[in-house]
Amino acid sequence: MEKNRRDGRRRTGWRFIALIAGEEARVQTVGRDYVVFLGDVESGSISGPPLKFNLFSYFLHETTLTPAKTVSAPVQFYKEIQAEEEGTLQLRLDMMIISSHTAPARSLVAVILLSLLLQISELPSSCSASSSLENFSARDGTVLELDESNLDKAIASFDYILVDFYAPWCGHCKRLLPELNAAAPVLAGFKEPVVIAKVDADKYNRVTSKYDIDAFPTIKLFMHGVPVEYKGPRKADLLIRFMKKLTAPDVSTLDSDIAITEYYETAGTHFPIFFGFGLDESVLANIARKYKKKAWFSVAKDFSEDIMISYDFDKVPALVAIQPSYNEKNIFYGPFEENFLEDFVKQNFLPLTVPINSDTLNLLKDDDRKIVLTIMEDETDDESQKLVKVLKAAASANRDLVFAYVGVKQFENFAESFGSAEKTELPKMVVWDGNEEYFIVTDSEIIHGEDQGTQITKFLEGYREGRTIQKKINDRSFTGYIKSLSIGGKIAYILILLVIIMMIVHNFCMDNEPLRVGTRDQANQGISSSSEHERRDYRPEDKED
C-alpha cells in the first residue's frame, strides 16, 4: 500500500486508471449506451454499481480510447482497434494513480466520472464538429466549425466554401469573426451559396501544414475543391460584394429588357459593368475570365430600342462600359479582336477622372498609362467640381492618359509629394509616371479660373511636344509606400517590420495579446485604409490588393 501511495503522482503518457486493489475501469456497450464498470466484467466481480454514461460518445476519440470489436459507435475517427475483451473498452487516461485504500463505491464512481469529464474537456471537438457537418446545409447561414477530421469532407461537399484558419489568441481573428457571422446568412442566400467555415489552425497542426498556414487569420476560398488564398476585403458588406462577383458566371447571357435591367440593378455600383449588345458570349469569354475580379461582363441578344436609347448606343454590335458610381458610359463599336477589346476594357476599369485615395492608388499602379494629375485645394468645393467636369471632357478625348485629381485637404501627404507645399498657386497640373518622377509643362502648370478648357489643352499639347521639366517626388518615404502597393516582394519587408514592432510592444505591454507569425490582416488593411463610409470615391476591391 505504501508503494501505491508513492506512485500516486502524475505520470506522463496514456495508461490505465488504477483503482482500489488494482481494479480497472471498463466500459461495456449496452444497446446504444455505454456503461462504466469497476472490476472484472467477465467474472461479474463488480466493486460498485454500474454508471450509465450517455455522453460517452464524445469521449471516443483516436487519442483517447481503443474501441472493442463489437462497439456500435462510428469508428471512422479511430486509428487503431484493440480489443481487451469482447464488448468492452479499456479506458486510457492521463491522470494520477489512486492509492489502494478502502473507499465507498460512490466515491469510486465519482472518481471515474471526474476523470471522464476532465478528459472530455481536453479533447478536440471532432465528433461534435462532424455531427454539425452532417446536419449542415449550405443554406443554413451560420459559420461552420470544422477540424482536421472533417475539413476535407466539407470542402468536397460545397462548391464554394470560405475557410477562416484562426488562432484563439489572435486579436485580428477575434475582430474578423463578427464580420464573418454577419456575412454568412447573406452568402448562404446567393444563387450559388457560399459557406463560411472556421478551423482552429493553432490547435490542428496537420491542417496548418497541409494548407501552408503561416499567419493568422488566413482565409482560403475553395471553389469546387480548388484552394485560393483570399485577399479581398474583410468587412462584412465588402466581403459580400466581392463574393457575389466572384461566384457569378464569367459572362452572363441576357435575353430580354427585364433581364438586362435586373442584371444592372443586381450588379450594384461597386464594379464597372460591360454589356455586349449583339455580341456572342465567346467574344468576351477570355477577357471576362481574365478580369473577373474587376468587373461584370454580360452579353444581350434580345433587346428593344428603349434599351438602345437608355444605354446610348445606336448600332450593333456594341460593347457598353458603365461606371455606376459615376453614371458614366463609354461605347465601343469594334474592332472586336481580343487586343482591342482588352485595351477598351482596361481603360474603363477607371472612371474618366479618378479621385486619388489609398484605394484608387492600387488600381492606378496596375495601369501602364501616364497620369495627368490635377492638384487642388479642396476637391469637394464648387470650383473644383467645375474643373473636374472640364477634366472629364479632356479625358474622353485622350484615352492614352489617365486623368486624376487630388485635394490637399483630402490627401495632404500625397499632394505635397508634388511640391504643393511650396508657394505655388493651385490648382496646378503635372504628369506623373506612377513611380518617383513627374513632369511639369513649361508655362502651363497653373490652371487659372477662366477658360480652363483651353489651358488644359495647352498643357496637353506642351506635354506631347516635350516642353517639360522632369522632377523627383519630394517625399521618398511616401513613394516607397506607393511602390510597395504593386511590388509584391516588398510586402515581406513591411510584414517583417510590423512583426518587429509588435514584438517590442508585446515586451513592454504585458496586457497585449501574443502575436504569432505574421500580421496579414494589418498589411491588407494598411494598404486599403480609407474610410468605410460611402462617398463618391472609386473603391476597387480586387482580390490581389
Instruction: Return the active site residues.
Output: 170, 173
Q: How far is 262 from 265, CA to CA, in rounded Å?
A: 5
CB 402 within 8 A of CB 369: yes
- φ and ψ at 488, to 5 degrees? -55, -35
CB 299 within 8 A of CB 259: no
Q: How far is 194 from 192, CA to CA, in rounded Å?
A: 7
Strand boundaries in 178-327, DSSP class E: 195-200, 218-223, 226-229, 252-254, 273-277, 296-300, 318-323
Nearest to 53 by CA among 32, 83, 39: 32
Q: How far is 328 from 320, CA to CA, in rounded Å?
A: 10
Nearest to 153 by CA among 212, 205, 222, 206: 222
Residues 6+ apart with CB under 8 A from 266: none
C-alpha cell at 11: 505520470
Give the pairing of strands 88-91 and 468-472. Answer: unpaired
CA 322 to chain centre: 27
Residues 6+ apart with CB under 8 A from 169: 202, 513, 514, 516
CB 283 within 8 A of CB 260: no
CB 471 within 8 A of CB 450: no
For the CA atoms of 79, 81, 82, 87, what is the dihedral angle to 10 degrees? Answer: 140
Q: How far is 107 from 112, CA to CA, in rounded Å?
A: 9
Give the position of cell 461479474.
Answer: 44
Alpha-carbon distances, residue 86 vs 36, 93, 271 (angstroms): 15, 21, 65
- Tallying the residues shown for the chain, one arrives at 545
Q: How far is 315 from 331, CA to CA, in rounded Å?
A: 10
Neighbours of 2 (CB within 10 A): 8
CA torsion through residues 375, 377, 378, 384, sign:
negative
C-alpha cell at 223: 471553389
CB 301 within 8 A of CB 288: no
Q: How far is 15 from 393, CA to CA, in rounded Å?
A: 82
